[in-house]
Every structure is written in C-alpha cells, then in structure tokens.
C-alpha cells in the first residue's frame, strides 16, 4: 500500500500524535528566512513546519502524496491567516509537481526514510537538487536508532499522547522500522528505512550536493554519532 493511503488513515490524529515534536521548527524557519524563499517543502504533511515558515513571511510550496494530510495543511494555513503564502500540491516527492527553482528545499521529520532503498533515496535527493537554484540548499533530517532505543521500545504499545498509541517493530537485518499508530478510530502502520551517516553522505554527494553541515540535533550541535542527523547540503554554483 502506498504511503498516501497510509497517511490518509491517520491525518486526523497526526497533529495530536506529533504535538510534542517542536524542536525542529525553529531551525527550519531560520533556514527559510535566511534563504529569502520561496521554499519547497517535500512531504509537507499537515503544515507543521510550512505554516510557521509562512508566518515568518516566506512563501512555501508544499508537496505531499496524501490528500487528507494536504487538507489539514490547508485548514491550518487558513486558520493562521497565511493561506496566501502557502501553495500546496499533491504529488510524489520523487517527481515533485514544481516548475519553480528555489533557494531552499526542505524535507523535515524523517520523511526521506519513507524511501524504501538507496535507489529511491537517491531519486528523491536528485529530485530535490533539480528544484534548487545554483548555490541553493537542501536541509533534511533523518535518524538511525540506538541499541537502547530499540531495546526500550521494540514490540511495545506505548501511549505517546493521551489516547494515541504507538508501537515500534525494529528489523535490524533490513534496517526497517514498522511504526504503528492508533487512536480511538484511526490506525495505520508504515515503514521507515534508515541508513548510517556515511551511507547518507555518499548518496548526498552522488546526487550532486556538497555537504555544508551535519548536525546531531536541531540546536546545531555537531553530529557525533547519535541517533539524529540533520543534513545541510548545497547545490554547487
Ligand atoms: C512524517 S510526515 C512529515 C510531515 C511534515 N513534513 C512534518 O514535518 O510534520 C511524512 C509525510 O510524507 C508524506 N509522504 C510519504 N511518502 C511520500 C512521497 N513519496 N511523496 C510525497 N509525500 C510523501 C506522507 O503523506 C506524510 O505526510
């Protein structure tokens, strides 16, 4: 089943499910403001990042496969009074329906891990590169789990937010996380496919980027081998 249908099933609980995820907003907004915009956000979801970017005065083109997630993003942008700065388009991030060339492309909240293998990740990175002006930047975050994280969560239903449960099933052989989410009526399972930092670095360079920075957290501390990787890549001039 495509991730389109998978996210359609949880669009109504996506925001309450991810309500505690706020640590990344400031970095993405700062990058957007520094770029001057417009920004293309691939896998824009419900606008969790795109709407704060628009509220900072930057135009955002948001691409997502899921019509239900895009409908939530539209509601959010309207509610916050920034709909005129948010341009939502339904499509696959590997073939984004975007003719514009921009100074910044972002893929927040681990969305590139929906790409099942290195070939698909490379397709996505190349698609991002094709949207950038010379000298433009791609910023995205991904993770690779620690052994402790796997041991603490594997196969357990945990109440992540009131009434919203999450279960992680880790497959170390294929490096796949099957993440299940359920609310009172909604439920879905989708897969995330992680890579090591050196593997990402290789793919990023193969897609034609130069790596400007690799952070280990959204406060821009350097990456020192932890779970989170925040990549800042540049398309050479
Ligand atoms: C974890 S959510 C991230 C949403 C948003 N960027 C955020 O930070 O909250 C992942 C999103 O990726 C979208 N997605 C997954 N595969 C996709 C693809 N191939 N093309 C476009 N969107 C995709 C899903 O529909 C979902 O909205």
Q: Where are the domains of the chain?
A: 3-143+195-234, 147-190
Average pLDDT, the chain: 96
If pLDDT is split at 50, 70 and 90, which confidence band does 25 have? very high
Probe residue for ligand 1, chosen from 65, 119, 179 as the CB with the greatest number of ligand atoms within 8 Å: 65
For 174, the 3-state DSSP assignment is coil
Residue 234 has what pLDDT? 98
**In the 8-state DSSP scheme, what is residue 100?**
-
**What is the Å distance from ligand 1's center to 168 Cα?**
18
- What's the mean pLDDT in 216-232? 97
In tens, the pLDDT along 129-165 reads 999 999 999 999 999 999 999 999 999 999 999 999 9
Does residue 186 register a pLDDT over 90? no
3 pocket-lining for ligand 1 (C-beta < 6 Å): yes
Hey, what's the torsion of the CAs at 113, 26, 91, 134, to 10 degrees? -90
**What is the Å distance from ligand 1's center to 206 Cα?**
23
Give burial (CB, 10 Å; 0-12/13-18/19+) of 51.
Answer: buried
Ligand 1 atom closest to Cα of residue 8: 25
7 pocket-lining for ligand 1 (C-beta < 6 Å): yes
**What is the Å distance from ligand 1's center to 44 Cα?**
6
DSSP 21-67: --TTHHHHHHHHHHH-S-EEEES-TTSTTHHHHHHTT--EEEEES-H
Residue 2 has what pLDDT? 63
**What is the Å distance from ligand 1's center to 100 Cα?**
20
Residue 1's CB is within 10 A of a number of other CB atoms, namely 9
If pLDDT is split at 50, 70 and 90, which confidence band does 172 have? very high
111 pocket-lining for ligand 1 (C-beta < 6 Å): yes
Residue 16 has what pLDDT? 87
**What is the Å distance from ligand 1's center to 147 Cα?**
26
48 pocket-lining for ligand 1 (C-beta < 6 Å): yes
- The pTM is what? 0.97
- As its CATH architecture, domain 3-143+195-234 has 3-Layer(aba) Sandwich (3.40)
If pLDDT is split at 50, 70 and 90, which confidence band does 4 have? low
């Amino acid at each position: 089943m495509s991730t389109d249908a998978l996210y359609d099933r949880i669009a109504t609980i996506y925001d309450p499910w991810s309500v505690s995820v706020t640590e990344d907003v400031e970095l993405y907004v700062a990058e957007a403001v520094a770029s001057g915009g417009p920004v293309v956000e691939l896998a824009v979801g419900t606008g969790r990042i795109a709407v704060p970017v628009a509220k900072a005065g930057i135009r955002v083109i948001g691409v997502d496969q899921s019509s239900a997630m895009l409908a939530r993003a539209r509601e959010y942008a309207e509610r916050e009074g920034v709909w005129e700065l948010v341009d939502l388009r339904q499509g696959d991030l590997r073939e984004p329906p975007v003719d514009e060339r921009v100074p910044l492309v972002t893929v927040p909240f681990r969305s590139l891990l929906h790409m099942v293998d290195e070939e698909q990740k490379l397709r996505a990175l190349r698609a991002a590169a094709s949207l950038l002006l010379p000298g433009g930047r791609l910023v995205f975050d991904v993770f690779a789990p620690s052994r402790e994280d796997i041991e603490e969560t594997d196969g357990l239903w945990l109440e992540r937010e009131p009434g919203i449960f999450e279960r992680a099933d880790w497959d170390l052989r294929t490096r796949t996380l099957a993440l299940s989410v359920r609310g009172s009526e909604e439920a879905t399972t989708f897969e995330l496919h992680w890579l090591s930092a050196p593997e990402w670095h290789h793919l990023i360079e193969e897609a034609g980027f130069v790596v400007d920075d690799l952070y280990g957290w959204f406060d821009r501390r350097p990456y020192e081998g932890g779970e989170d990787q925040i990549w800042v890549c540049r398309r050479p001039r």
